[in-house]
Amino acid sequence: MTLISSWFCFLCTLFVCLPSCDAAPFSILSSSSSLSASDPLLVTLPLGEVLGTNSSYNVQRFTLPYAAPPVGVLRFASTQPLSAFPNTTSGGVYDATQLPNACMQDPDSRYGINQDSVSEDCLYLNIFRPAPKQNPDGAKMPVLVWIHGGSFISGSSTAPGLDGSYLASQNGIIVVTIQYRLGMFGWFTPSAFTDEVAVSPTRRSVEEIAFGRYKRVYPTQGSEKPPAEGAAKSVYNRFNRNRASEKRTYNTIGSYSGFQKRADTVQGNQGLADVIYALRFITSHISSFGGDNTSITVAGQSSGAHMIRALLSSPAASPLFSKAILHSDPANYGTQLLNTSQLVSDYALSQTSCSDLACLRNMSAAEVLDASYATANAGNSIDSSVAVSEVFRPFIGSLAGQPLEQNPSAEAKSKSIIFTNVENEAGPVIGNMLDSTATGATSAELTAYPVALPRDQLLQQMFNDGRGQTIASAAQYGMNTSNTSSYPTPQAKSQLFSKATDGLRRNLEEILTQGMFICPNWHNALRTGESSVYVGLFEKGIQYPSNAGNTYCSSDNRVCHEDDIQLVFTDPSKVDDATARTVREVQARWVAFTRTGNPNTKLYGGWSSVGTSVGQVAKVMRLGFYREDGVKQAASLIDTVSLQAGQYAGCGQLWGGQIKYDWQLYG
pLDDT score at 631 = 62
pLDDT score at 649 = 87
More confident call, 21 vs 280:
280
Please say if the pLDDT value at position 83 is more than 70. Answer: yes
Please say if the pLDDT value at position 443 is more than 80. Answer: yes
Distance of CA 620 to the CA centre of its chain: 22
Please say if the pLDDT value at position 176 is more than 70. Answer: yes
pLDDT score at 618 = 82
CB proximity list for 392: less than 8 A, separation 6 or greater: 151, 152, 153, 182, 183, 184, 186, 187, 271, 344, 372, 375, 376
Residue 10 resides in a domain: no
Please say if the pLDDT value at position 188 is more than 60. Answer: yes
pLDDT score at 5 = 55
Number of domains in the chain: 2
pLDDT score at 529 = 74
Instruction: Please compute, for residue 167, the number of CA atoms within 13 A of its CA located in the half-sphere on the CB side.
Output: 31
Share of the chain above pLDDT 90, in %: 67
Residue 621 resides in a domain: yes
Q: Which of 610, 372, 630, 390 is nearest to 517 (CA)?
A: 390
Please say if the pLDDT value at position 220 is more than 50. Answer: no
Please say if the pLDDT value at position 57 is more than 90. Answer: yes
CB 272 within 8 Å of CB 399: yes
CB 502 within 8 Å of CB 554: no
Residue 473 resides in a domain: yes
Residue 567 resides in a domain: yes
Residue 638 resides in a domain: yes
CB proximity list for 205: less than 8 A, separation 6 or greater: 198, 217, 218, 219, 220
Please say if the pLDDT value at position 419 is more than 70. Answer: yes
At which of 260, 283, 301 does a domain end?
A: 260
Residue 297 resides in a domain: no
* Residues 104-145: tens digit of each pLDDT: 999 999 998 988 999 999 999 999 999 988 888 889 999 999
Please say if the pLDDT value at position 262 is more than 90. Answer: no
At which of 214, 239, 260 does a domain end?
A: 260
CB 3 within 8 Å of CB 151: yes
Residue 241 resides in a domain: yes
Cα 363 to Cα 3, 71, 190, 359, distances in angstroms: 27, 11, 16, 7
* Residues 451-495: tens digit of each pLDDT: 999 999 999 999 999 999 999 999 999 998 765 544 444 334 456
Distance of CA 548 to the CA centre of its chain: 22
* Residues 544-602: tens digit of each pLDDT: 999 999 999 999 999 999 999 999 999 999 999 999 999 999 999 999 999 999 999 99
Task: Encode burial over 432-467: b for 16+ CB neighbours within 10 A, e otherwise.
Answer: bbbebbeeebeebebebeeeebebeebbbebbeeeb
CB proximity list for 602: less than 8 A, separation 6 or greater: none
Dihedral angle, C-alpha 131, 132, 133, 137, nearest 10 °? 140
pLDDT score at 16 = 42
* Residues 504-527: tens digit of each pLDDT: 999 999 999 999 999 999 999 988
Please say if the pLDDT value at position 384 is more than 70. Answer: yes
CATH of the domain at 643: 3.40.50.1820
Mean pLDDT value across the chain: 84
More confident call, 48 vs 5:
48
Dihedral angle, C-alpha 51, 55, 58, 64, nearest 10 °? -40
Query: How far is 408 from 483, CA to CA, in rounded Å?
Result: 34
* Residues 240-253: tens digit of each pLDDT: 433 333 333 333 33
- Find the domain containing 435 and state its range: 415-666
Share of the chain above pLDDT 70, in %: 80
| Residue-level length of the chain | 667
CB 295 within 8 Å of CB 307: no
Query: How far is 525 from 522, CA to CA, in rounded Å?
Result: 5
Residue 312 resides in a domain: no
